[in-house]
Amino acid sequence: TNRFQYFTFLFIVVIVGNGAVGKSSMIQRFCKGTYTRDYKKTIGVDFLEREIEVDGEDVRLMLWDTAGQEEFDAITAAYYRGAHACVLAYSATDRDSFDAIPSWKLKVENECGEIPTVLVQNKMDLVDQCVIDPDEAERLGRALGCKLLRTSVKEDVGVMSVFRHLASRCLHEM
């Protein structure tokens, strides 16, 4: 008899960064295909997932949304712990969120060690409000050893690339 086995790879992705950079929106966009300007978060931790095909493999990505609990290290650290990949997110319109990226990288590294990580500049649709110099963003990416990608979760630009990139790296670095 023929016996077939099918595998789905499963990776957990954490999205970290300051409040209001668009982390929850990115998870909703990727997992549900929706975007809401005034998306009401429930305090607590939400868990969403989506399966995609990457490099000929079925990959299920599971995402923790540690909604609005950025300041509570004790809570969030527990969710970083099992992660296979990380999105470091900041907003093009928020200088503080950009400056905070190295410390977010450290927090994740402390719990997970070196995992595939991508630096994401969100809200690229707000061109006229952008406060981040493109060269500076590239430099930060190089300094942290992360690829820099730009997204507009609102306009659905670049979001899929973020997760495809991470899934592919997870597959190849297993």
| Residue 24 or 117 with smaller CB distance to ligand GDP | 24
Phi-psi group of 114: left, alpha or beta (phi > 0 → left; psi -120 to 50 → alpha; rest → beta): beta
CB-count exposure of residue 154 (10 Å: 0-12, 13-18, 19+): middle
| Helix or strand (DSSP H, E) at 142 | helix 134-144
CB of 25 to ligand GDP, least distance (A): 3
| Residue 22 or 116 with smaller CB distance to ligand GDP | 22
CB of 16 to ligand GDP, least distance (A): 9
| Residue 37 or 172 with smaller CB distance to ligand GDP | 37
| Residue 59 or 63 with smaller CB distance to ligand GDP | 63
Contacts to ligand GDP by CB under 6 A: 19-25, 37, 122-123, 125-126, 152-154
CB of 50 to ligand GDP, least distance (A): 17
CB of 6 to ligand GDP, least distance (A): 34
66 CA to centre of own chain: 12
> For the chain, how many helices (H) and strands (E)?
6, 6
d(CA 164, CA 151): 13
